[in-house]
Amino acid sequence: MKICFVTHKVKKGDGQGRVNYEVITEAVKERHDVIIISSELSEELRAHPQITWVKIGTSWIPTILLKYQWFALYSAIWIWTHQRGIDLVVVNGFITYARSDINCIHFVHSAWIRSTYHPFREQKNAKSLYQFIYNGLNALLERLALQQTRQIVAVSEQVKEELVQDAHIQAHRISVVSNGVDLNEFYPRTVNRADFNLAVERTYALFAGDLKSKRKNLDTVLAALANVEDIELIVLGYVEKSPYPQLAQELGISDRVHFLGYRQDVADMMSLADLFIFPSRYEPFSLVILEAMASGLPVITSNRCGAVELLSNQSAVIIEDPDDTSALIQALRDLSSDRELLELMARKAREDAQSNSWELMSSKYMQLFYKTSNLKFKTGNQA
């Protein structure tokens, strides 16, 4: 087969980009020829003899909205002029004006724009208005793209439900394939806490995410931490323009909150902690939860995260309401006061993660590719 992937990024270190990277790697292993239409491509894939890269540069375009429109038009023209040599077109959401065969959805704009946590509903300003317009246009174009594809793949049951309720897609057209994790990169290991000026004997929780987004819910985590003295918090993410170092100081817990900045060595950072805390207010999946599980960390999260579908009560504490500070306080107290429970949950977290490797995920995608290709061959070229 000759498979054309249309996506902005194909690289490690990026959630959707990593999924694309792993699926493409599996496709070439199975001896398929691959065309990648993207702006970014991992170095190790560029010289592969089975891969053709069609690079679309957008750095000269001033806004994300215009960048994406240029990308959508350029990629569509390329596909229209080369479609005779393509067996399958695989895309992510609305990314091209060309018709696709498989559309892999990691984020539903129709659901996000209706969410009570959308920035425009929290604060009315020029930036949030731009985001509202951007998401609204994407929601419309996303629905049109989904209507014109053969097979839809959702990253979680939560995303599938959003596609049905908010994008008005028939449930039978949607398959669910959860993200995977690199079990050789993320695993329980020993890291010297003293190298990071952390106390060896203390209990540490870890938070990793966008430190400017209220959606990630670090404010509630800090409020809870102020009421649990026997635990400290490691925070990973860009601190510049983040309000949370100031909030930690106002709460009187700045000595127990360690902002370590954005890190490339996230796998090592995971092993500094005893548990992972991520009660996001809205998260279609969140790969970082799976990475924490693979690293042997019990997880405290909310039921607004799609990845909870992969968690068990033996490896995680799932909070119904992400803004329920009392529930978060209780979860932190329970885990920080019981070392035996922490260790038991850590082992179970690793076991749960082992059922969700990148290899298993990629295999599921390839099965869908074969099924869709066979259906396309039988029915002709009309979606």
User: pLDDT category, 205, cuts 50, 70, 90?
Assistant: very high
Q: Quick check: 382 pLDDT over 80? A: no
Tokens at 191, concatenated:
């890291």
Q: Quick check: 121 pLDDT over 90? A: no
The three-class DSSP label of residue 361 is helix
Percent of the chain surpassing pLDDT 70? 99
The predicted-structure confidence for 257-308, as pLDDT tens digits, reads as follows: 999 999 989 999 999 999 999 999 999 988 999 999 999 999 999 999 989 8
Which of 32, 43, 40 has its CA nearest to residue 2?
32
User: pLDDT category, 132, cuts 50, 70, 90?
Assistant: confident
The sheet carrying 33-38 orders its strands as 51-55, 33-38, 2-6, 88-91, 102-105, 151-154, 174-176
Q: Quick check: 90 pLDDT over 50? A: yes
Cα-Cα end-to-end distance for the chain: 18
Neighbouring C-beta atoms of residue 69, cutoff 10 Å: 16
User: pLDDT category, 49, cuts 50, 70, 90?
Assistant: very high
Q: What is the pLDDT of residue 383?
A: 43
Question: What is the C-alpha separation between 305 and 282, in angstroms, rounded?
Answer: 6
Range with the poorest average pLDDT among 72-86, 109-123, 189-203: 109-123
Whole-number CA gyration radius for the chain = 22
User: pLDDT category, 380, cuts 50, 70, 90?
Assistant: low
Q: What is the pLDDT of residue 74?
A: 97
8 Å CB contact between 245 and 222: no
Q: Quick check: 129 pLDDT over 90? A: no
Q: Which residues are CB-neighbours of 313 under 8 A, at least 6 positions away?
A: none
Residue 361 has phi, psi (to 5 degrees) of -60, -50
Q: Report pTM.
A: 0.89
Question: What is the C-alpha separation between 246 and 223, in angstroms, rounded?
Answer: 13
Sign of torsion over alpha carbons 294, 300, 306, 308: positive
Which of 143, 86, 153 has its CA nearest to residue 109?
143
Helix (H) or strand (E) holding 112: helix 109-112
Domains and CATH numbers, the chain: 2-180+357-379 (3.40.50.2000), 193-353 (3.40.50.2000)
Length of the chain: 383
Residue 9 has phi, psi (to 5 degrees) of -135, 140
8 Å CB contact between 310 and 349: no
Which of 203, 181, 111, 105 has its CA nearest to residue 145?
105
The predicted-structure confidence for 361-370, as pLDDT tens digits, reads as follows: 999 999 999 9
Q: Where in the chain does DSSP place strands (E)?
A: 2-6, 9-10, 33-38, 40-41, 51-55, 88-91, 102-105, 151-154, 174-176, 204-208, 232-236, 257-259, 275-278, 299-302, 316-319
The three-class DSSP label of residue 33 is strand
Q: What is the pLDDT of residue 313?
A: 86
Neighbouring C-beta atoms of residue 248, cutoff 10 Å: 22
User: pLDDT category, 120, cuts 50, 70, 90?
Assistant: confident
User: pLDDT category, 183, cuts 50, 70, 90?
Assistant: very high
Sign of torsion over alpha carbons 330, 237, 286, 129: positive
